[in-house]
Structure 1
Amino acid sequence: MSLHVSRWLRYLTLLVGLTGLLPGAGRATSTLDDTPRIAVLSAFQGELALLLSRVDAPQSYTVNGVSFTTGVLQGKPVVLFLSGVSMTNTAMTTQLVLDRFHVTHLVFSGIAGGVNPALNIGDVTVAQRWGQYLEVLMARETAPGKYSAPPWMDDVKLPNFGMLHPRPVTVRSDGHSEESKFWFEADAQLLALARSVQGTVLDACDTTKQCLTHSPKLVVGGNGVSGQAFVDNRAFREYVFNTFEANVLDMETAATAMVAYSNGVPFIAFRSLSDLAGGGGTENEMDTFLSIAANNSAKVLLAFLAAWK
């Protein structure tokens, strides 16, 4: 071996050793489990608790601080995890599960704020499409109470709420290098399956005997919207209903819908009303009815998985 080659090999050995000390170096990017699975996600623990308790043969994984549980739920191979609250967390963890597991479908379960005045706390909604309604232009005030978009911004078409003018988001996917979209559709076959479980019996009371004054129902279809704000404002709630014809609003689902679209993975979301987003009584009701709403969403999802052939 020549002196030149010997020095080159020693250099490579040193380089490989140093690379192993760099942040993220050598981090595995392969899938952790090759079984085709339905990914089931919720924003926080209280929403996922009932579903986790029903998983057979659970096995745990942790990636980037996110815990994943694989197993069987209602006879279907699943991977369950928490998305985290709000849009960025949800987008990150949804992509993470797609990268590390063999995911065939994405299914969200959790609570939401009610927007449609025809719906009540405890009702479960399965929206046909989801939009990111807080992707906005904060417009210049050109006269008292009047706000205008720059003339070159030609995608501001929806009615505004004061200075807030909704806009579409830009998304890339296999089919499109770049496109602007506002609505992201739930999978049509999954929606049809959701309609088949409309007879699911929903809870009107929780374990503490906190009860609703009505019998909750399942509503399939209509619109849902998501954004990085907790809404507890009657005027804004009315604007959201009038502008987007939304049944519900939350802080995560549209992010998962966008990631699902970008990756070509079928998606659906079950959301139960824990509060009326400012349209209820003298204070927000989420803390009071969270358990009923979370369990109702999970019960519909369990019936949905049981009906899945």
Structure 2
Amino acid sequence: MNTGRRFRVGKVHGKKVVYVRCGRGMVNGAAATQQMIDVFNVKGIVHFGIAGNMNNSMSIGDVTIPKKITNAGLWDWLNPDKAKGGEDLAYLEVRNYNVPKGDGNNELGSIGYSYEQLYSVTGRINSPQNVFWINTTQEWLHIAADLEKMELSQCVNASLCLPIKPKLVVGLKAATADIFVDNAAYRNFLYDTFGVSSSDMESSAVAMTCASNGYPVIVIRGLSDLAGVGGDNTVHKFGSLAATNTAKAVLEFIKKLPPS
């Protein structure tokens, strides 16, 4: 079967694994996950990569293994004269960010954050469940909790090091959208409104595809930048370190998985 992707089959710490690069964005994340499930006899999906940091208590080089993920790119962009209401969970008022603050009307109006529709093998046929958060697999999170004290790399090379030693945290929340977030105001909005600590472009699509098919899933993401501070330059400087720490966490997690 030619899917346009190269799947590599092998073993890691004695466990059979299939590895594939999904590509950038939510469509790629969902498509690669569905292909993996359809073509191979997998037990579950370990999704990993780098992410932007939304949480001021986290730092570049840290690794997050979230307990739940939202699609923060599913919006209702409201007319400026429309009153709040309906089924939207939260709102971003564009005029709150006017300079001077709150000055006059802003025709961009507001954005209402909406729900995913989850079709699941465990749900009723043709009756999607409205969900805002997609949970990662609780059993795998318990296994991952043992990784929180693992040693992570602090230096890209001999001359480029982080000021503090990176840490791994299990059980935070994450956001996904087809948006590279390099804006401090929007970072603060996402953290203050939804409590998310990281932002990426694939994780919720992978998790939702797994939930829809009834497969276990865990997400492991290394933080490469603080949104709104440094942008692409920070990613270019520390992206490789975030990726290295993510890979270390993935290998350690696979090591702790019970035999098939």
Give TM-score, length-normalised by structure 1: 0.75
- Identify the residue that residue 222 of structure 2 maps to in structure 1: 272
Please point out which of 118, 132, 137 is paired with 2:76: 137
Please point out which of 106, 118, 127 is paired with 2:57: 118
Counting only pairs closer than 5 Å after superposition, residues 50-199 of structure 1 correspond to structure 2 as 63-142=2-81, 148=83, 154-162=86-94, 163-176=110-123, 177=126, 178-199=128-149
- Once residues 254 and 263 of structure 1 are traced to their aligned partners in structure 2, the CA distance between those partners, rounded to angstroms, is 14
- Once residues 297 and 148 of structure 1 are traced to their aligned partners in structure 2, the CA distance between those partners, rounded to angstroms, is 44
- Once residues 267 and 230 of structure 1 are traced to their aligned partners in structure 2, the CA distance between those partners, rounded to angstroms, is 23
Partners of 2:66 and 2:174 within 8 A in 1: yes
Provide structure 2 residue ranges, at least 5 long, that are not aligned to the other structure: 95-109
- Once residues 240 and 231 of structure 2 are traced to their aligned partners in structure 1, the CA distance between those partners, rounded to angstroms, is 20
Larger Rg: 1
By how many angstroms is 1:208 displaced? 6.2
Partner secondary structure for residue 10 of structure 2: strand
- Identify the residue that residue 7 of structure 1 maps to in structure 2: none
- Once residues 148 and 121 of structure 1 are traced to their aligned partners in structure 2, the CA distance between those partners, rounded to angstroms, is 40
Partners of 2:182 and 2:231 within 8 A in 1: no
- Once residues 217 and 65 of structure 2 are traced to their aligned partners in structure 1, the CA distance between those partners, rounded to angstroms, is 11
Q: What percentage of residue pairs aligned between the two structures are identical? A: 33
- Once residues 220 and 147 of structure 2 are traced to their aligned partners in structure 1, the CA distance between those partners, rounded to angstroms, is 12
- Identify the residue that residue 244 of structure 2 maps to in structure 1: 295
Counting only pairs closer than 5 Å after superposition, residues 233-244 of structure 1 correspond to structure 2 as 233-244=183-194
Check 1:282–1:186 CA distance in 2 against 1; reply closer, same or farther (3 A cut): closer
Alpha-carbon deviations, 1:137-176, whole Å to 9, x = none? 011011xxxx645x6xx32121325322110111211122
Counting only pairs closer than 5 Å after superposition, residues 219-234 of structure 1 correspond to structure 2 as 219-234=169-184
- Once residues 142 and 77 of structure 2 are traced to their aligned partners in structure 1, the CA distance between those partners, rounded to angstroms, is 38
Counting only pairs closer than 5 Å after superposition, residues 257-268 of structure 1 correspond to structure 2 as 257-268=207-218
Alpha-carbon deviations, 1:165-205, whole Å to 9, x = none? 11011121112231111111011111011111222110011
- Once residues 157 and 148 of structure 1 are traced to their aligned partners in structure 2, the CA distance between those partners, rounded to angstroms, is 14
- Once residues 91 and 284 of structure 1 are traced to their aligned partners in structure 2, the CA distance between those partners, rounded to angstroms, is 29
- Once residues 159 and 49 of structure 2 are traced to their aligned partners in structure 1, the CA distance between those partners, rounded to angstroms, is 21
Partners of 1:161 and 1:239 within 8 A in 2: no
Check 1:284–1:85 CA distance in 2 against 1; reply closer, same or farther (3 A cut): same
Alpha-carbon deviations, 1:276-299, whole Å to 9, x = none? 111x24865111101100010110
- Once residues 283 and 76 of structure 1 are traced to their aligned partners in structure 2, the CA distance between those partners, rounded to angstroms, is 36
Check 1:283–1:78 CA distance in 2 against 1; reply closer, same or farther (3 A cut): closer
Partners of 1:70 and 1:79 within 8 A in 2: yes
Check 1:281–1:67 CA distance in 2 against 1; reply closer, same or farther (3 A cut): closer
- Identify the residue that residue 255 of structure 1 maps to in structure 2: 205
Structure scoring higher RCO (CA < 8 A, sep ≥ 6) equals 2
- Once residues 261 and 306 of structure 1 are traced to their aligned partners in structure 2, the CA distance between those partners, rounded to angstroms, is 24
RMSD: 1.6
